[in-house]
Amino acid sequence: MHILLIIYVLFTLIASIFVLKYTIQNVANEISSKNIALLMVDLLDILFMIMFLKWKKWALYGLAMNTIVMFIYNLSEGYGFFLSVLGLFGFFIICALLFLKKDGRTGYQNLK
């Protein structure tokens, strides 16, 4: 993997852990289906990030699924189209960084 991709994925993994802490506090304060669903999405996001660092192609598809789910959730919660689209940029950055070459191969070609 290209070093920029590794740094970005580690950064987003750390950010996801902080978001998970906030989500756990929300679930502890108010148990609702919305909070539990967000908790599951956050846990899956962390799992997919860890597995992506282990070069798993299915983790990239899992991240894409999580991104789409959160996009739809943000729209349904009334955040507006612009803010919802901003949530897509994290995944697009990962996809763009996958095209960087190291030793003549892109990051996507190295995923198993």
| Pairwise CA distance, residues 72 & 7, whole Å | 28
CA-CA distances (angstroms) from residue 78 to 26, 30, 68? 19, 20, 16
Give the predicted TM-score (pTM) of the model. 0.87
Query: What is the percent of the chain where pLDDT is above 90?
Result: 62
Domain ranges (residues) in the chain: 3-110
| Pairwise CA distance, residues 77 & 71, whole Å | 10
> Each residue of 73-91: pLDDT tens digit?
999 999 999 999 998 999 9
| Pairwise CA distance, residues 109 & 79, whole Å | 36
